[in-house]
Amino acid sequence: MNIDTEIQRVKEDIEILKTKLKTLENLKENRKGKSIRDIIDRWWDDIFSLHSSWDKDTCTDDLADQIELYILMKCNKDT
C-alpha cells in the first residue's frame, strides 16, 4: 500500500467525520417540532447538494445517524 494513498484516504475520512459531526450538532439544535419526514427531506437535499461526493455506505450511515438521533431526542422529550 502506498503511504500517500493511505494519508489521502485518512484525510478524506476525517473530512467526512467533521461534516457528520457538524450535521449532528446542527440537528440537535434544530430538532424541536421536526417530523421524521422533515429530517429525511433535509437529508435528501444535503446528499444531493452538500455531500454529493459521498458513497452509498456513507450516505446510508448518515441517514441512520440522523434517524437514531431523532428517535433518541423524541424519547428524551417524552420522559
Closest-CA residue to 31 (of 68, 5, 4, 57): 68
Q: What is the mean pLDDT of the chain?
A: 81
Compute the average pLDDT of residues 14-31.
76
- Report the distance separating Cα 72 and Cα 66, nearest Å: 10
Taking the domains of the chain in order of start, what are their residue ranges?
3-78
Q: Is 53 helix (H, G, I), strand (E, B) or coil?
A: coil
Name the band, by pLDDT with cuts 50, 70 and 90, for residue 23. confident
- Report the distance separating Cα 76 and Cα 79, nearest Å: 5
Grid cell locating 64:
441512520
Name the band, by pLDDT with cuts 50, 70 and 90, for residue 27. low
- Report the distance separating Cα 32 and Cα 30, nearest Å: 6
